């Protein structure tokens, strides 16, 4: 099929590789596209930049939410279900691709797509993005160029037909979701389903962190959201203690205490994690801080310190026996 200009959009050409079925989907704000895509350079080798099949997960975007790469919404809107199409897009449409790709790659790697992003105005953010962390994407940022997108559209769902992903929610939806997730997490803890509970608390924290990214740090709006984040992080850490993920607890409690160095519960959970991984000095220091900050926890601290002392004495005895055994065998 010959290339044609798509929907009279300047700088875009479309080639249908495999016809779809039915009519063009009826779209509304909040409709969700699910599709696979390949991104290629417009060079002789047609160098592949990204391939969602290799990442192992299809892509999803919400109509009206794809603010960084609006052209994708236009491309997908021209497709039928089951259609495979190749789109050539001029550089006027691809300038933001490196940032979008960075986010998608981080999600595929299990990382936060907003990691390292600062609260700055649009012009300020241009300077924060001096490196994406990926050499090929840095090159695209330095020299914007035409790109080829090969897309296969699987389905289009109305807003009421799917569970809204956190990133696709409005501010009001995120705020409404937080207490629901918190409550679900608490219910799962009572059933001792700690991994599932941790996931609920984590999702609630992500909702709030996304909202915080739009506020100025330490101002009223940011502080109100932070007051909701803190108990969720502590609940998450308690689940990780139950699951034996002690280094995860050390990481999150330390991060929390960098902002709130008077939080006795955070010190208590960090102390327990230190004790579990045999960091005796650090555990004792944190337990002592807990007793100083919150005298009502003194009895719990005393009990933990006693258990820590017994565990350390037992470990020292076992270590001595092991070293003696090694020494005797080497003498023999």
The label of the residue with tokens 């794809």 reads 66
Q: What is the pLDDT of residue 8?
A: 73
Which of these, 245, 301, 299, lies nearest to 273 by C-alpha position? Answer: 245
Summarize the confidence of residues 42-63 as an average pLDDT: 87
Could you tell me if 145 and 41 are in contact, meaning their C-beta atoms sit under 8 angstroms apart?
yes
**Neighbour count for residue 254 (Cβ, 10 Å):** 12
pLDDT band of residue 261 (cuts 50, 70, 90) is very high
pLDDT band of residue 111 (cuts 50, 70, 90) is low
Mean pLDDT of the chain: 84
Q: Phi/psi zone of residue 57: left (φ > 0), alpha (ψ -120 to 50 degrees), beta?
A: beta
pLDDT band of residue 124 (cuts 50, 70, 90) is very low
Summarize the confidence of residues 219-238 as an average pLDDT: 94
User: Does the domain formed by 169-312 have CATH 1.25.40.10?
Assistant: yes
Cα pseudo-dihedral 40, 41, 46, 51, rounded to 10? -20
Residue 127, exposed/middle/buried by CB under 10 A (0-12, 13-18, 19+)? exposed
pLDDT band of residue 120 (cuts 50, 70, 90) is very low
Q: Which class is 2-155 in CATH? A: alpha beta
Could you tell me if 178 and 230 are in contact, meaning their C-beta atoms sit under 8 angstroms apart?
no
Phi then psi for 79, rounded to 5 degrees? -105, 150
Give the separation between CA 6 and CA 15, rounded to whole angstroms.
9
**For the chain, what are the domain ranges?**
2-155, 169-312
Tens digits of per-residue pLDDT, 150-193? 999 999 988 766 566 666 677 887 888 889 889 999 999 999 99
Q: Phi/psi zone of residue 116: left (φ > 0), alpha (ψ -120 to 50 degrees), beta?
A: left
Summarize the confidence of residues 206-233 as an average pLDDT: 91
Which of these, 160, 20, 157, 162, lies nearest to 78 by C-alpha position? Answer: 20
């Amino acid at each position: 099929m010959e290339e044609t200009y798509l929907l009279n959009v300047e700088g875009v050409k479309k080639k249908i590789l495999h016809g779809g079925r039915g009519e063009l989907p009826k779209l509304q704000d909040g409709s969700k596209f699910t599709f696979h895509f390949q991104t290629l350079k417009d060079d002789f080798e047609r160098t592949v930049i990204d391939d969602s099949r290799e990442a192992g997960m299809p892509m999803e975007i919400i109509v009206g939410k794809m603010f960084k790469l609006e052209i994708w919404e236009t491309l997908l809107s021209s497709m039928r279900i089951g259609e495979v199409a190749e789109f050539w897009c001029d550089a006027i449409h691809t300038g933001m691709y490196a940032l979008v790709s960075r986010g998608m790659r981080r999600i595929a790697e299990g990382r936060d797509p907003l990691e390292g992003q600062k609260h700055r105005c649009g012009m300020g953010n241009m300077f924060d993005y001096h490196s994406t962390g990926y050499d090929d994407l840095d090159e695209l940022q330095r020299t914007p160029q035409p790109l080829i997108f090969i897309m296969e559209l699987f389905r289009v769902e109305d807003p009421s037909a799917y569970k809204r992903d956190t990133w696709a929610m409005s501010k009001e939806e995120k705020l409404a979701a937080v207490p629901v997730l918190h409550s679900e997490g608490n219910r799962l803890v009572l059933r001792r389903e700690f991994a599932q509970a941790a996931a609920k608390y984590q999702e609630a924290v992500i909702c709030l962190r996304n909202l915080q990214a739009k506020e100025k740090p330490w101002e009223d709006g940011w502080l109100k959201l932070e007051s909701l984040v803190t108990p969720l992080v502590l609940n998450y850490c308690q689940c990780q203690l139950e699951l034996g993920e002690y280094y995860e607890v050390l990481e999150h409690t330390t991060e929390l205490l960098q902002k709130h160095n008077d939080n006795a519960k955070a010190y208590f959970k960090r102390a327990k994690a230190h004790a579990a991984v045999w960091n005796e000095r650090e555990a004792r220091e944190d337990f002592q801080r807990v007793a100083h900050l919150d005298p009502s926890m003194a009895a719990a601290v005393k009990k933990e310190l006693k258990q820590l002392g017994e565990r350390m004495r037992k470990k020292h005895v076992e270590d001595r026996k092991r070293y003696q055994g090694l020494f005797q065998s080497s003498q023999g």
